[in-house]
Structure 1
Amino acid sequence: MSNSSQQVSSSNHLIYERLKQAIDLNLRRQIFIAACDDLWLRDCLAARLEAELATPEIGNLPRDPVYYPRFVSLALNLSDPNLWAAIAGWMTQHPPRPNAQGYSRLPGFQILGVEHLTRQSAAVQWSFLSYLRAIESHLQMWESTLLLWVSRPWLSSIEHSAPEFWQWRTGVFEFEGEPTPAREEFIESEDVDDAEDFGERRRFRDEGNWGQKLLIPSVSPQLIFPYSPTAAEWEAAD
């Protein structure tokens, strides 16, 4: 498959800067949703966020040479799309380190891979929406920033089928771009599927200046809409 290179548009750059500034405020319980149908653009922007926000703050450097990040990228587990469990698992493996004042600042998290749920069963998609609806049970322990990357169809599905999560949103950022083909077959698709986290996927996807340029597929876009339960189905499930 041949690829072309293009600059991030000025409008997308402006939206990105607004998103980064909002996350950089590091306020409690910030819930952001970023909608982007172009997965190449999404990966470019998410990687840039990770690089620009992950640097530890001055005065918050750990005692050892391994820096504790301010911003972490996590890939959604498609077999059990529980974003809260994914975050808890990362925190268990990387317990917070206190800064010079003895205060442990939690990192922000961005969740990627929601678009892959489109090719999963309705039951898996339903479980993801159910996890989002359970947000209030996690808020008492949630003191950090969450950024959920989705496609526009999933944005609509979350708004209508996970109203509890939608009501707690701090902001929604919609990026311009053509939808990536539904099959989502990148050149390195097998490598990407085997990658354990987004950092590895970024390494596979781009060896160059990912902060300014991105690769886009030459295949014509085709979009599949995610499963969206009806109100009657929700009532039956309850």
Structure 2
Amino acid sequence: MPDSDLEALNRRALRKLLVTVKANGQTLGLLVAICDDRNLQASIIGEYEAELKSQGITPFQARLDFKRPSLRATLEALVAQEPVLQTGEPAVVTVLNAEALLGVRLSEEKSEQEKFFFSLQWTREALLRFEFPVVLWVPDAVATRIGQRAPDFWSWRGGVFEFVARPKVVTEAGHPMPRVREVDTTDSPGQLSIADLQRQIEGLEEASPESSLLITSYNSLGEAYEREYARGEALALYEKALALARANNNLEGQVRSLINLGNALEYSGRSQQAIEYYEQSLKIAREIGDRKGEASSLHGLGNAYFLLGQYQRAVEFYQQWLEIAGETDDRKSEADSLSRLGNAYDSLGQPQRAIEFHQQSLETAREIGNRQGEANSLGNLGNAYDSLGQPQRAIEFHQQQLEIVRKIGDRQGQANSLGNLGNAYDSLGQPQRAIEFHQQSLTIKRKIGDRQDEANSLGNLGNAYYSLGQYQRAIEFHQQSLAITQEIGDRRGEAITHFNKGNVLARIDQKWKARSSYEAAKTLFKSLELQELVEQCDQAIRNLGQMI
């Protein structure tokens, strides 16, 4: 991104920060400022402190104590020293030194990082007595972990303001590059383990069984189980979280729990049931003015209808999600919703319309410097051009995607782009080349432990070997894919694999086995209410006809 664009983004973030500080006046407002460059951070702080001081708002600074990294303790110590903060006069406090938490040892029983994140969960109510806005400066890595390890506290923040420094120049000695901020994605080092979450829950259940923190903990443990594909355990925990949230009349907790239930059901291939939960979360989110929860509910509804093959309904919900992104100035969600709209139009058989949305998504991602989003948009453009019957153009976009994900170290993205290249080469009539890319994709997916995508790669290999005319190899790969989809409970993936396996069996004149595979696929598609795919199964069975 050009320096002029970075400067414009930073000026815009600074203006928003100043407006928010002034709006909070003599009341508590927790604001999070994110920056990885100390020089830029110092410059921004100096600028906003000077302007606020000129308007009668006294600026103060406090530093987190490395040995006792508590936000509440830091503010209490400052208030005790500064009479102005005791009288209620207009003031703002800037809290520094959070970057020191990145260097702590994590091998101890409870590191300073863990103490800090744990204390934040219990700080919310304790901070209410401070009658001034607080600007907490953190590096990107700490911000990400706060969102994951102290979600209640994170949701309570009054604003997040990100300041981006000019990327370092790549030298021959190494390959430094700007960090990509993806707070809502999985980041294993910053997440509590299942065992840690279980201990936390046991302590809360014993000490305070009605605590609202249990709602968060149940949800967090459920999300941890989902990452291990233990969706049965996850669903049970989300249900406990929802029951407690309802008993406490905790509407925000209900929204999160309902969305999680919807997501888990959707991932398990039960999209119709997921819709019921998303509709409930959407209703509550709108009632309490929870715009983030409303957006997440609309996103989930769009995905659920997309998976059900009701692409026009999906478009309607993605469009509403896009509108909220625009109203809340959430550029990342804007890019994501444009991308989802593109995928839906591609599935509606309108690849040219899809390309228009993916181009908009790509432009937005580039404007905000979101390299991950840029890569995703390039991949989706490739898929749309493949649908348009232009696999060579598709390959060009997938190669651009692969170049970016390799630069930013996104292993999942590399696996996806390699798989997309495999599909495009298969469409181009080069199945042997396709197999090479699918094998590379499969290797990465196995290394990162993504079982669902591993099954997808195995299925793609089966399709490529089918195109190559090596039918027995194709069956072997479909069988491996089938075993994984059954193991992790991916009913939609299982149905698709049964159908593809049926195609291979029909080709080698094993008609009874082919019919059995088609019937198995039909039963699953019917249970998932995917009527269009049920009809495809019926047609495939009819095509066997007199050959049986």
By the TM > 0.5 criterion, same fold?
A: yes
For 1:54, what is the secondary structure of its paired residue?
A: helix
Task: Provide the C-alpha distance between the structure 2 equivalents of 1:95 and 1:75, rounded to a whole number of angstroms.
Answer: 18
**Distance verdict in 2 for CA 1:71–1:229, change over 3 Å:** same
- Are residues 1:161 and 2:149 paired? yes
**Distance verdict in 2 for CA 1:229–1:179, change over 3 Å:** farther
Aligned equivalent of 1:111, options 76, 95, 118:
95
For 2:39, what is the secondary structure of its paired residue?
A: helix
| Paired position in structure 2 for 1:230 | 192
Task: Provide the C-alpha distance between the structure 2 equivalents of 1:112 and 1:83, rounded to a whole number of angstroms.
Answer: 10
Whose Rg is larger? Answer: 2
Q: Does the CA contact (< 8 Å) of 1:153 and 1:226 recur in 2?
A: no
Relative contact order higher in (CA < 8 Å, ≥ 6 apart)? 1
Structure 2: which amino acid aligns with 1:29?
Answer: L
- Alignment of structure 1 residues 1-238 onto 2, 5 Å: 9-27=7-25, 28-55=27-54, 57=56, 70-96=58-84, 104-105=88-89, 107-122=91-106, 123-177=111-165, 220=176, 228-230=190-192, 232=194, 233-237=196-200, 238=203
Deviation at 1:106, TM superposition (A): 5.4
- Kindly report structure 1 stretches of 4+ aligned residues shifted beyond 6 Å: none
Deviation at 1:221, TM superposition (A): 6.0
Superposed CA deviations along residues 217-237 of structure 1, whole A, max 9, x for unmatched, are: xx95687x9962415314414
What percent of counterpart residues are identical?
23
Q: Which has the higher helix share?
A: 2
Structure 2: which amino acid aligns with 1:230?
Answer: L
Task: Provide the C-alpha distance between the structure 2 equivalents of 1:72 and 1:226, rounded to a whole number of angstroms.
Answer: 35
For 1:172, what is the secondary structure of its paired residue?
A: strand
Superposed CA deviations along residues 165-196 of structure 1, whole A, max 9, x for unmatched, are: 1121111111222578xxxxxxxxxxxxxxxx
TM-score, structure 2 length as denominator?
A: 0.30
Task: Provide the C-alpha distance between the structure 2 equivalents of 1:29 and 1:74, rounded to a whole number of angstroms.
Answer: 16
| Paired position in structure 1 for 2:278 | none
Deviation at 1:37, TM superposition (A): 1.5
| Paired position in structure 2 for 1:206 | none
Deviation at 1:12, TM superposition (A): 0.8
Structure 2: which amino acid aligns with 1:18?
Answer: K
| Paired position in structure 2 for 1:62 | none
**Distance verdict in 2 for CA 1:35–1:51, change over 3 Å:** same
For 2:157, what is the secondary structure of its paired residue?
A: coil
Superposition RMSD on alpha carbons, in Å? 2.9
Q: Does the CA contact (< 8 Å) of 1:32 and 1:169 recur in 2?
A: yes
Task: Provide the C-alpha distance between the structure 2 equivalents of 1:90 and 1:71, rounded to a whole number of angstroms.
Answer: 12
For 1:25, what is the secondary structure of its paired residue?
A: helix
Deviation at 1:44, TM superposition (A): 1.1
Task: Provide the C-alpha distance between the structure 2 equivalents of 1:10 and 1:48, rounded to a whole number of angstroms.
Answer: 15
TM-score, structure 1 length as denominator?
A: 0.65
Task: Provide the C-alpha distance between the structure 2 equivalents of 1:159 and 1:104, rounded to a whole number of angstroms.
Answer: 30
Q: Which has the higher strand share?
A: 1
Unaligned segments of structure 2, at least 5 residues: 169-174, 180-186, 204-548
Q: Does the CA contact (< 8 Å) of 2:149 and 2:191 recur in 1?
A: yes
Q: Does the CA contact (< 8 Å) of 1:157 and 1:226 recur in 2?
A: no
Unaligned segments of structure 1, at least 5 residues: 1-5, 58-68, 181-218
Q: Does the CA contact (< 8 Å) of 2:28 and 2:128 recur in 1?
A: no
**Distance verdict in 2 for CA 1:179–1:43, change over 3 Å:** farther
Structure 2: which amino acid aligns with 1:82?
Answer: S
